A and B are shown apart, each in its own frame.
Chain A
Amino acid sequence: MTETTDLRAKQPRFRGLEAGHRACQGCGEALAARLVTEAAGPDVILTNATGCLEVFSTAWPQSAWRVPWLHSLFENSAAIASGVEAALKAQGRRTKVIAQGGDGGTFDIGFQALSGMLERMHNVLYVCYDNEAYMNTGIQRSSSTPHAAMTTTSPPGKARMGKRHMKKDLLSIIAAHHIPYAASASVAYPQDLRRKVRRAMEIDGPTFLLVHSPCPLGWGHDGTLTIEVARLAVQTGLFPLVELERGEVASVMPLRRPVPVAEYLQRQTRFRHLFADGDHRAREEREHLQALADYNIERYGLMGDGDDPFDSEGADTIRRGGPART
């Protein structure tokens, strides 16, 4: 046993997703799944839709998961989870079920199963790792891909500036199910993410978590910038961090100082065409995305009322020996 193996066993935290998985360098989804399973703890059963997470974590015959984990198909993570939950219920066991999927498996392909699971009020936490395209199969657009982003199936050119349509407002659809708790979170704010996972774990009923997880390969940024890009998505207002209870907005992370969307866009090659010289559409689309961010800020009331320790600049504050105590 090497020295680090020994130390690894003594880590002062639960390891749900272990090293040795095959995610790319700087993978936001691997980080998100690591954080979610750490916060959820060992007494869980996971299901997984087809996607990057499923593929990179379970290269046969190995598994990076240290908790029970099931994969069946692309479209049925929520359906499998419903069945596992029903079986546990029949056995009188309290083990929590967590269904996982990417945005493809949640917004598009597994959407019907998800809606059914929520409607039947299964005691399941559904976590969607949102990296805004089908990354596993080669960066095809999904209904979560933001407006104007380049993917292999929404290439910018003479006819279009990237994806023509808007990002699907999934949280509002989830809200319409009147479930006890739904929230959005980001890998850039791990304390906030963990708190939301723990909150959802405590609730006996269907809960939903949408975790913004940058994909260095699909978004076109260096793996070192995963957190910076995720942070900017929140600070611009493009990815608002909100909590919904029974369909109503219960809490938001306020923005101390909204950052112009260009700061976010110019770090990613999927928006490179929005900075093309001499193309008037580039400016138009940048303004369009700014307007979408402004819309989010207005709709969710993201503008803070003075500095707040839990706003977009305070929530990631650290101090000696760990995150800031507030």
Chain B
Amino acid sequence: MPVTMTKGAFAKAGTSLAFKTGTWRSARPVHVHAAAPCHRACPAGEDQQAWLARMQEGRPREAWESLVAANPLPAVTGRVCPHPCESACNRGKLDAPIAIHALERWLGDEAIRNGWTYPIPTGQPRKERVAVVGAGPAGLSAAYHLVRRHYNVVLFDSMPEAGGLLRSAIPPTRLPRDVLDKELSRLLALGIEFRPRTALGRDVSLDELRNEFDAVFLGVGAGKSRHWDVDGAVPADLHEGLHLLKEWLQVGALPMPKAVAIHGGGNTAVDLARVMKRAGVPEVHLITASGLPGPDTEPDDVLNVVPREFEQAVEEGVKFYPHRTINRLIMRGSKVVGVEMVRLKKLPGANGRKTRVAFEGTETVLHVDMVVPAIGEVVDPAGVEALLHGKDYFPADRFGRLDGQAGIFVGGDARAWVKGYPNGTVTAAVGDGRRAAEAIDAFLSGRAPVEEERPPIPYEALNLAYYEPSTRIELPTLALERRNDSDEIEGGPTAAQAAAEADRCFSCGNCLACDNCWTLCPDNAVIKTVETASDGSHYVFDLEYCKGCGLCAHECPCGFIAMEAEAE
């Protein structure tokens, strides 16, 4: 039957796709890969969010490879790092932070167990030679990152084995030696030429290194105890904390006083206190100007150890005296028979800077027959006097460069504090080594060193409706009565625990591939490109149709989508 059009218009039926609603838009969605707080907080520069994502995908080897792109020592730092990443973790504001530290350890141990080899990016071999002095965490990290950039690296150390203070000052109960040996032997086998028993200033001079090599990295550490006395008085048989700890680790000798007062609030003080207590010293007292870990203690006033270490020390019977200092040594002849303590606090003075104020009338006496200072260490100037100029540490910048000393780079405990780049930890030393390697590469290539910096993501940028509260994994700890000189106290997670824990990660600032934007766009303007997507590159905004409502940005759990105003 013929159709006769008598009225109105005629047009061929068509799809609404011909109508581009994108012209309505005043703002467009964009993917913003912001930095997760764990990544921002990590002194070694790891992107924990990135490797946790690989864990969530069930690819632990890729997770480890992503991790060691920044930090070659996960089995070590997974045991000794004070994990600022966990303190910064956004999940801590919902229930409890991800156990990143334990997962790092698990990945490090898995790599050793399975013999995974360190991934070296492909590239042209470099002819330049770099000397790295000190085979501690800073030197090892620098050497590793230089090898990744295909430089010829010679690593010098005064000791017969690599490891630096990892070997000489950290008890095996915290860092078992077989773990250290396996991690370091695989690292050194990458093609680093290791020259042990070669001390700077004794066997080789700085000038020789400068002549022979194109660049020199100094990761010499802080091996000399800071000077200590009480109003000029020092016991005749004074032993410094680090010295005692090293002696015990190397030859197994430990003094056995009836009661000892250890003065200091860092790892050396706490490690030594625990070693002495476990060895059978009846009374171990630890006197520190800092406060104890707890909700009421300000972050800059707290004992400089991991809270867990403090708790275990208390369990083992170490007595802590926070916010106190030694006012006076009570001597009988040249022997110590006691100390007079006084309470103090670090308070802002007239100039605004914090100074220590002792409170008169709070003096108490402790009867001890030994006092051990463990108040910190400074650089041993032997061989580097020309660079140190009588200072305690090298005044290097964050890339380890020294003013007026082209070709010399410094990192680890040997460098002075730089704002935003605290040091004094293994992890910070690893970060120093990595940045110095970049600076050395830049120096030898005639360019400026760069460090990737992404904007941080705040907790408020996440949409928490899409996350469930979940319980953090519990890790095994060696029972008090079974602790000894050598067995590791902390246990690691099982594979199932590690997988469950990784699943708790919010994926702050990066795509979870959760499909929310794709599912919730009223305009079908989000396009998914791969069925099993794992990062944001798999969703595309179809700007021909996106009306710019911003719903996807609001419902993105991870804060990965932002709205950007369109140009007029």
- Interface-located stretch among B34-42, B70-78, B369-377, B530-538: B530-538
Q: Which residues of B contact A (CB under 8 A)?
A: 11-21, 24, 53, 56-57, 465-469, 503, 507, 512-516, 519-525, 527-529, 531-534, 540, 542, 544-545, 547-551, 553-555, 557
List residues 214-238 of chain A with CB under 8 A from any CB of chain B. Answer: 216, 222-228, 231
| Complex: A4 Cα to B22 Cα, angstroms | 13
The one of A63, A307, A320 that contacts B512, using a Cβ cutoff of 8 Å:
A320
Of chain B, the residue at the smallest CB distance from A31 is: B522
B554 contact set on A, CB distance < 8 A: 224-225, 227-228
The one of B468, B503, B520, B547 that contacts A190, using a Cβ cutoff of 8 Å:
B520
The one of B16, B533, B534 that contacts A64, using a Cβ cutoff of 8 Å:
B16
A23: Cβ under 8 A from any B Cβ:
yes
The one of A11, A35, A231, A322 that contacts B527, using a Cβ cutoff of 8 Å:
A11
Prevailing SS type, chain B contact patch = loop
Q: Which residues of A contact B (CB under 8 A)?
A: 2, 4-5, 7-8, 10-13, 15, 17-23, 25-28, 30-31, 34-35, 57, 59-64, 66, 187, 190, 216, 222-228, 231, 307, 309, 313-314, 316-324
| Complex: A18 Cα to B20 Cα, angstroms | 12
A224 contact set on B, CB distance < 8 A: 549-551, 553-554
Of chain A, the residue at the smallest CB distance from B13 is: A61
Q: Given A316-B466, A321-B533, are A15 and B503 neighbors across the interface (CB < 8 Å)?
A: no
21 A-B pairs with CB atoms under 8 Å apart are: A19-B17, A20-B21, A23-B523, A25-B547, A27-B522, A31-B520, A57-B16, A60-B11, A61-B12, A62-B15, A64-B15, A187-B520, A224-B549, A226-B522, A226-B549, A307-B468, A307-B469, A316-B465, A318-B557, A319-B512, A320-B512
Nearest CB of A to B374, in Å: 45
Of chain B, the residue at the smallest CB distance from A322 is: B515
| Complex: A61 Cα to B12 Cα, angstroms | 7
Of chain A, the residue at the smallest CB distance from B463 is: A228
Q: Given A61-B13, A320-B507, are A223 and B551 neighbors across the interface (CB < 8 Å)?
A: yes
The one of A7, A23, A222, A320 that contacts B534, using a Cβ cutoff of 8 Å:
A320
Q: Given A19-B542, A25-B547, are A320 and B15 neighbors across the interface (CB < 8 Å)?
A: no
Nearest CB of B to A69, in Å: 11
| Complex: A60 Cα to B53 Cα, angstroms | 47
B20 contact set on A, CB distance < 8 A: 20
Of chain B, the residue at the smallest CB distance from A17 is: B524
Q: Is the CB of B529 within 8 A of A324?
A: no
Q: Given A2-B544, A15-B524, A31-B522, are A317 and B11 neighbors across the interface (CB < 8 Å)?
A: no
Q: Is the CB of B531 within 8 A of A61?
A: no
Q: Is the CB of B14 within 8 A of A61?
A: yes
| Complex: A302 Cα to B21 Cα, angstroms | 41
| Complex: A28 Cα to B550 Cα, angstroms | 13
Q: Is the CB of B19 within 8 A of A59?
A: yes
Q: Is the CB of A319 within 8 A of B503?
A: yes
| Complex: A147 Cα to B523 Cα, angstroms | 31
Q: Is the CB of A19 within 8 A of B540?
A: no
Q: Is the CB of B19 within 8 A of A22?
A: yes
A225 contact set on B, CB distance < 8 A: 554
Q: Is the CB of B514 within 8 A of A322?
A: yes
Of chain A, the residue at the smallest CB distance from B552 is: A224
A17 contact set on B, CB distance < 8 A: 524
| Complex: A15 Cα to B469 Cα, angstroms | 34
B521 contact set on A, CB distance < 8 A: 31
Q: Is the CB of B465 within 8 A of A231?
A: yes
Q: Is the CB of B16 within 8 A of A18?
A: yes
Prevailing SS type, chain A contact patch = loop
Q: Is the CB of A322 within 8 A of B542?
A: no
A62 contact set on B, CB distance < 8 A: 13-16, 18-19
A26 contact set on B, CB distance < 8 A: 522, 549-551
A316 contact set on B, CB distance < 8 A: 465-466
Of chain B, the residue at the smallest CB distance from A321 is: B513
Q: Is the CB of B550 within 8 A of A314?
A: no
A sample of 14 more A-B contacts (CB under 8 A), given A19-B523, A318-B515, is: A10-B529, A20-B19, A22-B16, A25-B549, A27-B522, A63-B14, A63-B16, A222-B550, A223-B551, A224-B553, A226-B522, A314-B468, A320-B53, A320-B512
A30 contact set on B, CB distance < 8 A: 522-523
Nearest CB of B to A39, in Å: 11
B528 contact set on A, CB distance < 8 A: 11-13
Q: Is the CB of A20 within 8 A of B17?
A: yes
The one of B523, B548, B551 that contacts A21, using a Cβ cutoff of 8 Å:
B523
A27 contact set on B, CB distance < 8 A: 522
A61 contact set on B, CB distance < 8 A: 11-14
Q: Is the CB of A320 within 8 A of B549?
A: no
B522 contact set on A, CB distance < 8 A: 23, 26-28, 30-31, 34, 226
Nearest CB of B to A63, in Å: 6
Q: Is the CB of B57 within 8 A of A320?
A: yes
Q: Is the CB of B21 within 8 A of A19?
A: yes
A223 contact set on B, CB distance < 8 A: 549-551
| Complex: A225 Cα to B555 Cα, angstroms | 9
Q: Given A317-B467, A318-B466, are A18 and B550 neighbors across the interface (CB < 8 Å)?
A: no
Nearest CB of A to B250, in Å: 47
Q: Given A31-B520, A63-B16, are A319 and B547 neighbors across the interface (CB < 8 Å)?
A: no
Nearest CB of B to A313, in Å: 7
Q: Is the CB of B21 within 8 A of A321?
A: no
| Complex: A21 Cα to B17 Cα, angstroms | 8
Q: Is the CB of B555 within 8 A of A227?
A: yes
Q: Is the CB of B468 within 8 A of A317?
A: yes
| Complex: A17 Cα to B91 Cα, angstroms | 38
| Complex: A264 Cα to B555 Cα, angstroms | 17
Q: Given A19-B21, A25-B547, are A322 and B513 neighbors across the interface (CB < 8 Å)?
A: yes
Nearest CB of B to A105, in Å: 20
Of chain B, the residue at the smallest CB distance from A62 is: B16
Nearest CB of B to A184, in Å: 19
| Complex: A19 Cα to B518 Cα, angstroms | 13
B467 contact set on A, CB distance < 8 A: 317-318
| Complex: A21 Cα to B19 Cα, angstroms | 8
The one of B18, B56, B532, B548 that contacts A25, using a Cβ cutoff of 8 Å:
B548
| Complex: A8 Cα to B529 Cα, angstroms | 9
B529 contact set on A, CB distance < 8 A: 7, 10
| Complex: A57 Cα to B512 Cα, angstroms | 32
Nearest CB of A to B259, in Å: 52
| Complex: A314 Cα to B512 Cα, angstroms | 17
Q: Is the CB of B551 within 8 A of A227?
A: yes
Of chain B, the residue at the smallest CB distance from A228 is: B554
| Complex: A225 Cα to B53 Cα, angstroms | 28
| Complex: A61 Cα to B19 Cα, angstroms | 11
| Complex: A30 Cα to B551 Cα, angstroms | 13
Q: Is the CB of A25 within 8 A of B527?
A: no
A15 contact set on B, CB distance < 8 A: 524
Q: Is the CB of A321 within 8 A of B534?
A: yes
Q: Is the CB of B13 within 8 A of A320?
A: no
Of chain A, the residue at the smallest CB distance from B26 is: A25
Q: Given A19-B21, A224-B550, A319-B512, are A4 and B540 neighbors across the interface (CB < 8 Å)?
A: yes
A231 contact set on B, CB distance < 8 A: 465
| Complex: A54 Cα to B520 Cα, angstroms | 20
| Complex: A8 Cα to B545 Cα, angstroms | 12
| Complex: A28 Cα to B555 Cα, angstroms | 14
Q: Is the CB of B19 within 8 A of A4?
A: no
B465 contact set on A, CB distance < 8 A: 228, 231, 313, 316
Q: Is the CB of B18 within 8 A of A313?
A: no
Q: Is the CB of B532 within 8 A of A321?
A: yes
Of chain B, the residue at the smallest CB distance from A231 is: B465
Return the 7 tightest CB-CB contacts between A and B, nearest first: A20-B16, A25-B549, A26-B549, A318-B514, A19-B545, A223-B549, A224-B550
Nearest CB of B to A42, in Å: 15
